[in-house]
């Protein structure tokens, strides 16, 4: 992939001002390697999934006679239940994340620069620990005879019993894992709110609520929207949370897809379920992209 740039650069290196190589602008050359990666590593796999989803049950090749039977199966064999659960979990978690992350974003935005950096590092760092380690930690904390139950019992004689193996535990896990993904777009969004506008509004007698509703929220909206859609999309694929904290109390669509590919040995069914997730995720991303000015969000300095 990098061959293109490597072999072409030396040839023109002696030119005095080589802003363009041939008729192709430099920017295009530089974008090519990573675009090639995305064509072969993202687009092609998605096309393959789409092809497989129209193959007869249990085929292991994408070149058979197309059929809609996998999509029919999803409806008839109640596979839409897992899809519904995933959708519900994603919506609920995203709503909770909005509420949990907003005050955090405000606090970090208003903190002194040095403190803001420390807080940012502290919040990003857990992302580098495998999700399943952190979820296992929560299981050991919340389960019967775990840290919470055992600790309360030893200190106050109160027992909580097991707090895992239920849907709220799964939602908690998702909110816990994806908090940074909501937080950082939100902070970028809040950076759109100039402090002097808030001061001016306060001077003119605006209440705290009105400042929030009429100034802060509309200006920060793009960042909040992006964070919300990002969290919705990635929690749609929630997998480990349901497995560890839910311990099988419900099955999410990602788990159904996985079992269709592994135990089920039914790639077309797994593919059809994936196509549904991809379509849903894709439309959310499409909405987010339309509202987003990346230049403005990343380009601002200081």
Partner 1 sequence: MRDSAIIRRLLGVYVTLVVIVLYIPMVVVGLASISRSRFFVFPIRKTSTKWYEDTFDSLQVQEAVWTSVTIAVFVAILAVVLAVFGALAYARYDWKGRKLYQKILLVPVFFPQAVLGLALQLWFNSVGIQMSWPATVFAQLVWIAPIVTLIVAIQAYGYDASVEEAARDLGATRWMVFRDITFPLLGPGIFSGFLFAVLLSWGNFPLAYFTSGADVTIPEWLYGKMIGGYTPMVPAVGFLSVLAGGLALIVGLTVRSRIARVQ
Binding to partner 1 in span 34-63, by CB under 8 A: 34-35, 37-38, 41-42, 44-46, 48-49, 52, 62
Residue 59 vs 166, nearer CB to partner 1: 59
Task: Identify residues 119-178 at the interface with partner 1 (CB under 8 A).
Answer: 119, 121-123, 125-138, 140-141, 145-147, 149-151, 154, 176
**Which position among 257, 266, 269, 272 is part of the footprint of partner 1 (CB under 8 A)?**
257
Q: Are 105 and 193 in contact (CB under 8 A)?
A: no
**Which CB, 75 or 205, lies closer to partner 1?**
205
- The C-alpha atoms of residue 38 and residue 81 are separated, in whole angstroms, by 32
- Contacting partner 1 (CB under 8 A), which of 12, 68, 91, 221? 12
For the chain, how long is the longest CA-to-CA vector?
81
161 vs 301 by CB, closer to partner 1? 301
Residues 223-252 that bind partner 1 (CB under 8 A): 229-230, 233-234, 236-240, 243-244
Q: Which of 100, 118, 255 is nearest to 186 (CA)?
A: 100
Minimum separation from the CB atom of position 150 to partner 1 (A): 3
- Name which of residues 172 to 211 contact partner 1 (CB under 8 A): 176, 179, 202, 208
Piece in contact with partner 1 (CB under 8 A), picked from 28-36, 65-73, 161-169, 216-224: 28-36
Exposed, middle or buried, 90 (CB in 10 Å: 0-12/13-18/19+)?
A: buried
Closer of 100 and 217 to partner 1 (Cβ):
100
Site size toward partner 1 (CB under 8 A) is 104
Smallest separation, CB 229 to partner 1 (Å):
7
φ, ψ for residue 20, nearest 5 deg = -125, 145
88 binds partner 1 (CB under 8 A): no
Provide φ and ψ at 78, rounded to 5°. 60, 25
Q: Does 33 bind partner 1 (CB under 8 A)?
A: yes
Task: Indicate whether 274 belongs to the interface with partner 1 (CB under 8 A).
Answer: yes
């Amino acid at each position: 992939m990098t061959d293109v740039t490597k072999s072409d650069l030396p040839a023109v290196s002696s030119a005095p001002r080589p802003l363009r190589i041939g008729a192709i602008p430099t920017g295009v050359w530089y974008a090519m390697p990573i675009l090639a990666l995305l064509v072969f590593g993202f687009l092609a796999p998605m096309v393959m999934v789409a092809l497989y989803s129209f193959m007869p049950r249990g085929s292991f090749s994408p070149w058979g006679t197309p059929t809609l039977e996998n999509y029919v199966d999803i409806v008839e064999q109640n596979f839409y239940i897992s899809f519904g659960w995933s959708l519900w979990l994603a919506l609920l978690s995203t709503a909770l994340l909005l509420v949990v992350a907003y005050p955090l974003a405000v606090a970090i935005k208003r903190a002194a620069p040095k403190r803001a950096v420390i807080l940012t590092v502290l919040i990003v760092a857990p992302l580098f620990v495998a999700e399943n380690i952190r979820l296992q930690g929560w299981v050991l904390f919340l389960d019967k005879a775990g840290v919470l139950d055992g600790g309360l019992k030893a200190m106050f004689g109160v027992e909580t019993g097991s707090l895992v193996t239920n849907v709220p535990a799964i939602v908690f896990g998702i909110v816990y894992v994806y908090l940074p993904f909501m937080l950082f777009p939100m902070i970028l969004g809040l950076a759109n709110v100039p402090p002097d506008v808030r001061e001016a509004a306060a001077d003119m007698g605006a209440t705290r609520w009105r400042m929030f509703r009429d100034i802060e929220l509309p200006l920060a909206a793009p960042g909040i929207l992006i964070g919300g859609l990002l969290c919705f999309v990635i929690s749609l694929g929630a997998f480990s949370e349901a497995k560890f904290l839910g311990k099988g109390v419900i099955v999410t669509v990602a788990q159904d897809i996985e079992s269709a590919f592994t135990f089920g040995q039914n790639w077309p069914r797994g593919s059809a379920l994936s196509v549904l997730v991809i379509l849903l995720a894709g439309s959310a991303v499409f909405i987010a992209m339309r509202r987003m000015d990346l230049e403005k969000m990343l380009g601002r300095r200081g």
